[in-house]
Amino acid sequence: MTIRRRTIVHDGPGGPFEGVFAWDDADATPRPGVLVIPNVLGQKESDNLKAEALAALGYAAFACDLFGQGKRTQRGEGASRYMDDLNADRALLRERLRASLGALTAEPEVDAGAVAAIGFCFGGKCVLDMARAGLPIRGGVSFHGVYDRPDWPSVDPITLPLLICHGWDDPLGPPAAVVALADELTAARADWQLHAYGGAGHAFTDHAMPAGHAGFGYDAKADRRSWEAMSQFLQVAFKNNEIVAEVPAA
């Protein structure tokens, strides 16, 4: 197994956009693809490492860029400025997601008929918006996402399965917001499941955010459990493609 990376620059509304694609070059045949959608800070090395981890499971993965080439932020003042622009224009966000998905499926290592998406924080919201928009993916996984609905009408029914991995102490996803999401997905006849992790808050997968702020921070147990759940979920989503996912060690 040799995991490779390449940078992909692609067009899209307001582009260009620059992300990183990862795959195992020991296999020359197309395989299922996974779109990795970053958090509030935009495309970065931790997203590339997630793409590589997915490549080690047998997928081809694209850590995408929704903000635009060179548009990245750091924690602190102004960290959310590019995300805020897209939160204010969810239709633009939807079309950028469509363009990112197109960039993934254009890669020769990817089976364009077998793709899924995972996302973290803002990226988790994006996964839900992909489902709401009816974009052609086999399934979506939201890690500590944000659950507010867009201002455009969702498809009905939502046909792709969804896994929501949620830190129960997340102040950005209080119980009322979680119930509202469950009600929304149920009304849309979606195939959804919710994994809630007690004692975990927002950003529970983010090694760069140490615990210490109430309701925020990395949680090793929730991180491991949610990755295991994602691995099993993708294995089912791609069951016709004969992927056998390996669960990482604790």
Q: Inform me whether the pLDDT recorded for 119 exceeds 90.
A: yes
Burial class (CB in 10 A: 0-12, 13-18, 19+), 21: buried
CA count, 13 A, side-chain hemisphere, 153? 3
What is the number of structural domains in the chain?
Answer: 1
Domain of 161, in residue numbers: 3-240
Looking at the domain assignment, is residue 66 inside a domain?
yes
193-221 pLDDT tens trace? 999 999 999 999 999 988 777 899 999 99
Residues contacting 69, CB < 8 A, separation 6+: 9, 15, 16, 17, 18
Q: Return the CATH number at 235.
A: 3.40.50.1820
Tell me, what's the pLDDT at 249? 38
Here the tokens at position 74 are 């750091």
133-177 pLDDT tens trace? 999 999 999 999 999 999 999 999 999 999 999 999 999 999 999
Looking at the domain assignment, is residue 54 inside a domain?
yes
Q: Inform me whether the pLDDT recorded for 222 exceeds 80.
A: yes
Looking at the domain assignment, is residue 246 inside a domain?
no
Looking at the domain assignment, is residue 249 inside a domain?
no
Looking at the domain assignment, is residue 21 inside a domain?
yes
Looking at the domain assignment, is residue 250 inside a domain?
no
- 202 secondary structure, DSSP code: B
Q: Inform me whether the pLDDT recorded for 244 exceeds 60.
A: no
Secondary structure element (H or E) that encloses residue 3, with its range: strand 3-10
Looking at the domain assignment, is residue 247 inside a domain?
no
Whether 26 contacts 4, CB under 8 Å:
no
Rg (CA), the chain: 17
Looking at the domain assignment, is residue 248 inside a domain?
no
Q: Inform me whether the pLDDT recorded for 245 exceeds 60.
A: no
Candidates 249, 246, 250, 248; CA nearest to 59 is 246
pLDDT band, residue 243 (cuts 50/70/90)? very low
Whether 117 contacts 130, CB under 8 Å:
yes
Average pLDDT (106-127) is 98
Q: Which residues of 24-60 are buried (b: 16+ CB within 10 A; e: fewer)?
A: beeeeebbbbbbbbbbbbbbbebbbebbbbbbbbbbb
